[in-house]
Amino acid sequence: MRSIVIYHSLSGTTRRVAERIARQINGDMIEITPEKNYSGSLALLKGCYRSIKRVADPVVPGEIDVSDYEMVIICSPVWAGKPTPVINGAIKVMTGCQGKKVFAIMTCRNKNSANNALAFFVEQLKEKGFVISKTVVLDKKDAFNNVLIAEIAEGFGDA
């Protein structure tokens, strides 16, 4: 089964999860970056504001076609209780999503706030025509638990 892991990561935690999963399932991987980088505390405040407002940032790559894949895994950090504007931007430019299996993964500091964030994450994915197979929320401890990540990746095949 051809799979792709698509992720945004500012400080590396989500990248770590995405890389481990992609390696285990032998999937392709795309890192999404914002056209205008978030760096420094003011930029992060702006990032939180944009997350709360559900903004979709212009992103690189500007087109993401998933039609060649049977399984799509999308990973985002939680910012201000929402998916990041960067992953929103990625979802916006995705094509070929109709009827495709998707797994949504969020990394966070606090699982309660991620559960809220998942709602908008899933809503956007459904709007694109994806079929949600599974959602996963990982706090920092989980994200560095290699056994747990391996179990999650193994479960993708059965979902």
Ligand X SMILES: Cc1cc2nc3c(=O)[nH]c(=O)nc-3n(C[C@H](O)[C@H](O)[C@H](O)COP(=O)(O)O)c2cc1C
Q: Is 108 in the site for ligand X (CB under 6 A)?
A: yes
Candidates 24-32, 74-82, 91-99, 119-127: pick the segment binding ligand X (CB under 6 A). 74-82
Cβ contact 65:96 at 8 Å = yes
State which residue, 10 or 97, has the beta carbon closest to ligand X: 10
121 touches ligand X by CB under 6 A: no
Q: Among residues 1 and 52, whose Cβ is nearest to ligand X?
A: 52
CB of 138 to ligand X, least distance (A): 8
Binder among 1, 12, 35, 61 for ligand X (CB under 6 A)? 12
DSSP one-letter string for 123-157? HHHHHTT-EEEEEEEEEHHHHT-HHHHHHHHHHHT
If the CB atoms of residues 78 and 102 are measured against ligand X, the closer one turns out to be: 78
Beta carbon nearer to ligand X, 11 or 26: 11
Distances in Å between the alpha carbon of 14 and those of 6, 65, 99? 10, 21, 25
Kindly tell me which of 24 and 113 has the beta carbon lying closer to ligand X. Answer: 113
Residues 6+ apart with CB under 8 A from 21: 5, 27, 73, 75, 105, 149, 152, 153, 156
**Residue 32 in contact with ligand X, rule: CB under 6 A:** no
**Residue 3: DSSP 8-state:** E
8 A C-beta contact, residue 116 and residue 89: no
- Near ligand X by CB under 6 A, which window of 10-18, 65-73, 97-105, 127-135? 10-18
- 64 contacts ligand X (rule: CB under 6 A): no
Token readout for 54 is: 């559900």
> Which residues contribute to the site for ligand X (CB under 6 A)?
9-15, 44, 47-48, 77-81, 107-110, 113-114
